[in-house]
């Protein structure tokens, strides 16, 4: 089915998703043909934009920064005149090629990569180190290691401190020193094999799964309550219609007023998802020209974006299958064994090898208690596949079957 983008040449060059597709494509003509077929009304805009990106990659180093003012004027002039002139004539103009090079490559942070200037994202990326213990990064940059797994971490913005509890018993109080920056960004980093629960300053509760991190202000200010997630988290958000709660990830943003939902956005998994338990959320794709920018999902629905297929779908789901990890249970229904094992390596911080591609692709349904030890989980899983497991001297688990 063909569609209308309702976009133009310059809008495509400002779009992060489009630029990434054009730059990473091994066959630009194939990409151009695919998009031209899908969006015939925008065929010329798409083809010329792809060609310009390819030219940019070749010409980028030849551009003199002193030409900026002249180049910018050229960009604006040609943008306004695109309805009157054919793009093909512009392609042969070196000055226009240079304009695009400078505009897209040198000043991409203004448009294409504006997300990189997001302070909460920059903070998260600057403190992405991993340890074998959970870590709190405080407002002044101080790093504090937690003694226990599955602790309760509470932020008290009034007293400017962090309270850590284990099994409802207070373990310690950490001073969260004032800094000049009003945002006072903090971060919780959870390694593989652990979970942690955070109560934010507004009373919202976030349960972080293994191999995840959450970046947030010690005290919310401005028009939104914004946090940045890497990995997986279950959110129970305090309602405040005047201050929407926004969960940011690399691929999408989830905006809510007050609700319970799960977000999974692991770097090593191709699918990013949001599953709604109750309330209502609005999901926004990052850098979306080819898809609807914002979509609303209802309780019992999930939003799934697959990076490989570059496709997003909304469908009804069994919510428990996506949220049971909060209660120490991993439910899977007709999932490839390879996907199940990938999750187990996160939950237990271990290495698991599957012997043979056929076994790795085997569809498996079951329920695992992930609050126990890894050997119990491996025992159950090996029985489910009618196989067995071994453990090497290097502590690598191997799943195999004799069939």
pLDDT, tens digit, 9 for 90 and up, residues 273-327: 999 999 999 998 875 544 456 889 999 999 999 887 778 899 999 999 999 999 9
Q: Tell me: the pLDDT tens digits for 313-363?
A: 999 999 999 999 999 999 999 999 999 999 999 999 999 999 999 999 999
Note the pLDDT of residue 89. 45
Helix H or strand E segment including 23:
helix 16-24
Query: How sure is the predictor about 200, in pLDDT bands with cuts at 50, 70 and 90?
Result: very high
Cα separation, 55 vs 14, whole angstroms: 16
The residue-averaged pLDDT of 52-67 equals 51
Q: Is 77 exposed, middle or buried (0-12, 13-18, 19+ CB in 10 A)?
A: exposed
78 pLDDT tier (thresholds 50, 70, 90): very low
* Lookup: tokens for 33: 């043909």
User: Per-residue pLDDT for 192 more than 50?
Assistant: yes
Selection from 149-163, 166-180, 184-198 with the highest mean pLDDT: 184-198
Largest CA distance in the chain: 73
**Position of tokens 């692991």?**
266
Identify the pLDDT of residue 8: 66
Please check the confidence at residue 96 and state whether its pLDDT lies above 60.
no
Residue identified by tokens 């007293």 is: 159
pLDDT band at residue 48, thresholds of 50, 70 and 90? confident
Say which CATH topology domain 118-320 has: Jelly Rolls (2.60.120)
132 DSSP 8-state letter:
S
Q: How confident is the model at residue 211 (pLDDT cuts 50, 70, 90)?
A: very high
Query: Looking at residue 317, what is its pLDDT?
Result: 96
Which pLDDT value is given to residue 107? 40
Torsion 21-23-26-31 (CA) sign: positive
Report the distance separating Cα 258 and Cα 244, nearest Å. 8
Q: Find the range with the poorest average confidence among 39-48, 205-214, 253-262.
A: 39-48
CA-CA-CA-CA dihedral for 114, 115, 119, 123, to nearest 10: -130
Q: Up-side HSE of residue 374: CA atoms within 13 Å toward CB?
A: 22
**Contact predicate 225/246, CB 8 Å:** yes
Is residue 5 very low, low, confident or very high in pLDDT (cuts 50, 70, 90)? Answer: low
Which range (64-73, 134-143, 182-191, 233-242) has the least confidence? 64-73
Q: What does the pLDDT read at residue 228?
A: 95
Residue 1 DSSP code:
-
pLDDT of residue 126: 73
Looking at per-residue confidence, does 298 or 99 come out higher?
Answer: 298
Residue that wins the pLDDT comparison between 126 and 269: 269
Task: Return the higher-pLDDT residue of 53 and 105.
Answer: 53
Domain 328-400 CATH class label? alpha beta
* Confidence label for 167 from pLDDT (cuts 50, 70 and 90): confident
Residue 60 — very low, low, confident or very high, per pLDDT cuts 50/70/90? very low
d(CA 255, CA 225): 9
**pTM of structure:** 0.72
pLDDT the model gives residue 329: 94
What whole-number percentage of the chain has pLDDT above 70? 73
* Structure-token match 């593989």, residue found: 192
Higher pLDDT, 168 or 106: 168
Do 330 and 343 touch, CB atoms closer than 8 A? yes
Res. 128 pLDDT band, cuts 50 70 90: low
Domain boundaries, the chain: 9-112, 118-320, 328-400
Q: What is the pLDDT of residue 113?
A: 42
Q: Where in 52-181 does DSSP place strands (E)?
A: 135-137, 143-145, 152-156, 161-166, 169-175
> Is residue 111's pLDDT more than 50?
no
% pLDDT > 90, the chain? 45
**Residue 307: per-residue pLDDT:** 80
Taking only Cα atoms into account, the Rg of the chain, rounded to an integer number of angstroms, comes to 24
Mean pLDDT of the chain: 79
Measure the CA–CA gap between 54 and 343, rounded to whole angstroms.
38
Cβ atoms < 10 Å from Cβ of 249: 21
């Amino acid at each position: 089915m063909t569609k209308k983008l309702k976009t133009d040449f310059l809008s495509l060059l400002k779009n992060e998703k489009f630029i990434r597709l054009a730059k990473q494509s091994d066959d630009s003509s194939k990409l151009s043909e695919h998009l031209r077929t899908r969006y015939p009304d925008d065929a010329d805009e798409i083809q010329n934009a792809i060609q310009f990106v390819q030219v940019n990659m070749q010409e980028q180093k030849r551009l003199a920064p002193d030409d900026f003012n002249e180049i910018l004027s050229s960009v604006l002039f040609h943008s306004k005149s695109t309805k009157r002139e054919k793009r093909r004539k512009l392609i042969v103009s070196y000055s226009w090629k240079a304009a695009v090079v400078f505009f897209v490559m040198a000043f991409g942070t203004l448009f294409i990569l504006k997300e990189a200037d997001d302070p909460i994202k920059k903070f998260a990326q600057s403190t992405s180190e991993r340890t074998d213990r959970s870590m709190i990064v405080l407002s002044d940059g101080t790093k504090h290691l937690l003694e226990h797994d599955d602790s309760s971490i509470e932020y008290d913005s009034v007293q400017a401190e962090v309270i850590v509890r284990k099994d409802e018993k207070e373990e310690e109080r950490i001073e969260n020193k004032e800094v000049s920056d009003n945002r006072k960004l903090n971060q919780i980093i959870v390694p593989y094999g652990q979970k942690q629960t955070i109560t934010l300053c507004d009373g919202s509760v976030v349960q972080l799964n293994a191999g995840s991190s959450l970046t947030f202000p010690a005290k919310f200010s401005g028009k939104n309550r914004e946090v940045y997630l890497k990995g997986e988290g279950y959110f129970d958000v305090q309602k405040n219609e005047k201050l929407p709660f926004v969960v940011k990830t690399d691929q999408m943003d989830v905006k809510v007023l007050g609700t319970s939902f799960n977000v999974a956005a692991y770097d090593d998994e191709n699918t990013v998802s949001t599953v709604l338990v109750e309330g209502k959320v609005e999901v926004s794709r990052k850098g979306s020209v080819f898809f609807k920018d914002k979509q609303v999902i209802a309780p019992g629905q999930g939003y799934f974006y697959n990076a490989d297929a570059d496709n997003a779908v909304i469908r009804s789901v069994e919510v428990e299958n996506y949220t049971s990890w909060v209660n120490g249970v991993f439910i899977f229904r007709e999932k490839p064994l390879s996907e199940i094992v990938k999750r187990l390596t996160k939950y237990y911080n271990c290495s698991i090898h599957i012997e043979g591609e056929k076994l790795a692709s085997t569809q498996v349904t079951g329920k695992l208690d992930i609050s126990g030890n890894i050997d119990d989980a491996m025992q159950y899983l090996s029985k489910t596949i009618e196989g067995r497991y071994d453990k090497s001297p290097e502590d690598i688990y191997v799943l195999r079957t004799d069939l």
